[in-house]
Copies of this chain bind each other. A is one copy, B any other.
Amino acid sequence: MRDIGEEADVPVQRRQIVVDWGTSNFRAYLFGADGAIDLEHQAAAGILSVSGNGFEQALEREIGSWLTPGCHVFLSGMITSRNGWLETPYVATPADLAGVAAGAREITSARGARLRFLPGVATRHPLPDVMRGEEIQIFGSIAPDETITLILPGTHSKWVRVERGAIAAFRTFLTGELFALLKAHSIVGRLIPNEPLAFDAEAFLAGVRQAASDDSSGLLHDVFTARSGALLGDFGPEAVADRLSGLVIGHELRAGLALGWAGEAVRLVGEPALCARYRDGLAALGQASEAGPAHAAVAGFRRLAALEGGAGS
């Protein structure tokens, strides 16, 4: 992969550009006709750094030399939200890649590039849930007609049931955000030492097992025991953070496994160290898992770019 420089020697009509434009970062890929990345560009030019409605100027500034008349540009991420350039609706489940591409809203740039803003995916079964951006990682983590269950650990973890290549159902869990809040702001977090600590796998797994056990009285009680256990001397303050992590992730795993989606092995997609926690937590509960691709988003964009003419395939 090279950074942006001269014009790439790809025929104009075959150019597919995808832009992952989030709150803080801008990432763009130019795919050649063979599906390989010809150019890649990254910048700290997220939507928060764009003043007023200057998104088109920002796009020109970042990848202007790629934008030729008639070229296709898919845009994904918070750029498609209410605070972005063009808000797109949600596509309902079941949603496959072609359906997501077809749900894009298109405008033509001053330079004649066809800008396609991708939709998010929403479900109402059994409760309202939404994603915006993760769908690209999902399509980059599966074979076109695969049936599998994915977990995308993170701030807002996703459990995703994929059936024959389409997002059939999903659940968002506030796991990462809640852990960060409890650590930074709660009475439990006050016990956590300030200095950085090595990961305590034993404390983490004890938390996972407690959350999944019959002894658990739910998350609201379990998180308090990460404090009371330390007050009563069951473990030291240096174990509180990883025990709390295990309790919160353990409650996600318990609820996710109760969906009955897991099957023989779930596939973990995301940051390797976090996926390793999920892998070990799942194993402690008797559930096998496998690692997804290292660059799921890029793989998803490649599949998107390969859709001939974008929405039509």
Q: Choose, from A30-38, A54-62, A219-227, A274-282, the stretch at the interface.
A: A219-227
A window 202-252: CB within 8 A of B: 210, 215-225, 228-229, 231-232, 234, 248, 251-252
Contacts of A210 in B (CB 8 A): 127
* Most central of A124, A129, A224 by chain B CB within 10 Å: A224
Contacting pair B220 A173 (CB below 8 A): yes
Q: How far is the CB of A113 from chain B (nearest CB, A)?
A: 29
Contacting pair B186 A177 (CB below 8 A): yes
Contacting pair A173 B221 (CB below 8 A): yes
Q: How far is the CB of A191 from chain B (nearest CB, A)?
A: 11
Contacting pair A228 B129 (CB below 8 A): yes
Contacting pair A232 B130 (CB below 8 A): yes
Contacting pair A181 B175 (CB below 8 A): no
Contacting pair B218 A156 (CB below 8 A): no
Report how far A217 CA is from B259 CA in the complex, Å: 8
Q: How far is the CB of A129 from chain B (nearest CB, A)?
A: 5
Contact of A90 with B by CB under 8 A: yes
Contacting pair A232 B186 (CB below 8 A): no
Contacting pair B187 A224 (CB below 8 A): no
Bin the interface of chain A by size: 35 or more
Instruction: From known contacts A129-B225, A225-B129, A229-B127, infer whether A258 and B217 are also in contact, taking CB-CB under 8 Å.
Output: yes
Report how far A255 CA is from B216 CA in the complex, Å: 9
Contact of A171 with B by CB under 8 A: yes
Report how far A38 CA is from B221 CA in the complex, Å: 40
Contacting pair A220 B217 (CB below 8 A): no
Number of copies: 2
Contact of A178 with B by CB under 8 A: yes
Instruction: From known contacts A181-B186, A182-B181, A185-B185, infer whether A128 and B232 are also in contact, taking CB-CB under 8 Å.
Output: yes
Contacts of A186 in B (CB 8 A): 174, 177-178, 181
A window 254-280: CB within 8 A of B: 254-256, 258-259
Instruction: From known contacts A90-B232, A225-B128, infer whether A251 and B218 are also in contact, taking CB-CB under 8 Å.
Output: yes
Contact of A52 with B by CB under 8 A: no
Contacts of A11 in B (CB 8 A): none
Closest to A120 in B: B231
Contacts of A312 in B (CB 8 A): none
Contacting pair B90 A255 (CB below 8 A): no
Instruction: From known contacts A128-B234, A218-B251, A232-B122, infer whether A185 and B174 are also in contact, taking CB-CB under 8 Å.
Output: no
Contacting pair B124 A224 (CB below 8 A): no
Q: Which residues of A contact B (CB under 8 A)?
A: 90, 122, 124, 126-130, 156-157, 171-175, 177-178, 181-182, 185-188, 210, 215-225, 228-229, 231-232, 234, 248, 251-252, 254-256, 258-259
A selection of 21 A-B contacts at a CB cut-off of 8 Å is A122-B228, A124-B232, A127-B222, A127-B225, A127-B229, A128-B228, A128-B232, A129-B225, A130-B231, A172-B224, A174-B188, A174-B223, A174-B224, A181-B182, A181-B186, A217-B255, A217-B256, A218-B252, A218-B254, A220-B251, A221-B255
